Amino acid sequence: MIFNVQKCSIHDGCGIRTLVFFKGCPLRCPWCANPESQSYHHEITEYPSKCIGCGLCMERCPGQAIGEDGRIDRSFCPDECTECTDICYAEAKKQVGKEYTIDELFEEINKDKIFYDIKGGGVTFSGGEPLTYGAYLEQIARKCRENRIDVCIESCGYSPFDSFKEALPYINSMFMDIKIIDPQKHEEATGRSNQLILDNIRRISEYGVPLTIRTPIVPGYTDTEENIRGIAEFVSGLDTVTEYELLRYHNFGESKYAALGKTYDLKGVELPSDEEMLELTGIANTVLNKHGKYSFFMKDNKKEGI
């Protein structure tokens, strides 16, 4: 299931790229900027400011989950029901998640092939977690490569290796997250240990796929010297990694939680400053530079901290 196809991206791989967001993720990071990516099922977002008060959704709802104010009581909302989104022409309620066949998704990706050819771009499969769609990922990646389209993956790395290994021959490069190096702290923050993630990163690197490792810098979770140094030490032993990117935490996804009827637990958390990002990249580089690798963060579309 796909929840978004975004065109003309320049930050998720080389050149101009199409981003395909798979719906569903095994982790539950409290800082997740795409909460609509977490569930593997259809969901409904609602935007009260767009509601015109026609009442059609309330009449159509089989679970009587919509009040006179037009708002959904999600405790009564039937699973996988999208009746209200089908009838809401004001788009105050919208369905998140759509099934694509391989041919349908390739057709959407291939629309921009002229831009890929000119700018050296391609498609980036993101999420959610694309590796949990192993067989589907292998088919769409193979079809793209057969048509000379560069394939990149963005992944948290949490999926059994055997479930996605058949896709690896068709992947040109990958961005993979290591959020927290300590397995217990990783599980406390995300709901899962990082052991499978670290094992997968090692095996993917051994396979020969070029990797960029990323860490979101989230105050109170990932922003300690111990964590960054530990991740840098792990990265230093990976043959196909040259770059370790630190991603500055942002709260752009906060409004999405409200639209899904969810609570955003990091409300009020301050964004890391340039000085803090420089300090952390410096810590990583004291480890990485000895191995011909480097750490950086992006500011105004430029790499900083190298």
List the domain boundaries for the chain: 2-39+98-304, 43-96
Q: What pLDDT score was predicted for residue 227?
A: 98
Cβ neighbours of residue 257 under 8 Å, at least 6 residues apart?
35, 263, 264
Residues 140/99/29/239 CA torsion (nearest 10 deg): 0
Q: CB of 42 within 8 A of CB of 22?
A: no
Q: What is the mean pLDDT of the chain?
A: 95
Helices 225-236 & 274-288 angle (0-180, nearest 10): 40
Tokens of 189: 């923050």
Residues 75/76/80/82 CA torsion (nearest 10 deg): -120
Q: What pLDDT score was predicted for residue 42?
A: 93
- Average pLDDT over every residue of 96-109: 97
Q: What pLDDT score was predicted for residue 301?
A: 87
Q: What pLDDT score was predicted for residue 287?
A: 98
Q: What is the CATH number of domain 2-39+98-304?
A: 3.20.20.70
Q: What pLDDT score was predicted for residue 81?
A: 87
d(CA 173, CA 57): 45
Per-residue confidence band for 78, with pLDDT thresholds at 50, 70 and 90: confident
- Average pLDDT over every residue of 13-37: 96
* pLDDT tens digit sequence for 150-206: 999 999 999 999 999 999 999 999 999 999 999 999 999 999 999 999 999 999 999
d(CA 248, CA 197): 21
pTM of the model: 0.94
- Average pLDDT over every residue of 12-26: 95
Q: What pLDDT score was predicted for residue 9?
A: 86
Per-residue confidence band for 10, with pLDDT thresholds at 50, 70 and 90: confident
* Fold observed for domain 43-96: Alpha-Beta Plaits (3.30.70)
d(CA 124, CA 235): 22
Would the pLDDT of 75 be above 90? Answer: no
Per-residue confidence band for 231, with pLDDT thresholds at 50, 70 and 90: very high
Q: What pLDDT score was predicted for residue 29?
A: 97
* pLDDT tens digit sequence for 274-289: 999 999 999 999 999 9
Per-residue confidence band for 12, with pLDDT thresholds at 50, 70 and 90: confident
User: What percent of the chain is modeled with pLDDT above 70?
Assistant: 100
